[in-house]
């Protein structure tokens, strides 16, 4: 029974210690860089507008590529069904 308690405490400390250190580290990083973070959040809408313009073109290209793959998939499926129909009819 004591071994189970020891293992439970050990596992709890093994998980809590690194996570506490990580929380302290992230707090220090955020405190040091709060000006940069605020500036980035302030400029985010401007970057999103530029990104949206670029994404319109990229979305069109992705649609063309996806359509090509769909056409190839349909072509392969029809070829396979035609080959299996020819084998069964012979």
Distance of CA 46 to the CA centre of its chain: 24
Average confidence (pLDDT) per 10 residues, the chain, 90 residues: 85 92 92 89 81 73 90 88 67
Query: Residue 59: in which H helix or E strand, if any?
Result: helix 34-89
35-50 pLDDT tens trace:
998 888 888 888 777 7
Rounded Cα–Cα distance for residues 90 and 86 (Å): 6
Largest CA distance in the chain: 77
Q: Give one DSSP letter per residue of 63-84, joined into a string.
A: HHHHHHHHHHHHHHHHHHHHHH
């Amino acid at each position: 029974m004591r071994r189970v308690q020891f293992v439970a405490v050990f596992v709890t400390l093994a998980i809590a210690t690194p996570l506490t250190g990580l929380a302290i580290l992230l707090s220090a990083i955020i405190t040091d860089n709060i000006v940069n973070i605020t500036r980035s959040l302030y400029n985010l809408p401007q970057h999103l507008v530029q990104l949206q313009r670029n994404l319109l073109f990229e979305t069109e290209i992705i649609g063309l590529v996806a359509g090509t793959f769909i056409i190839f998939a349909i072509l392969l499926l029809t070829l396979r069904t035609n080959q299996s129909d020819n084998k069964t009819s012979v």
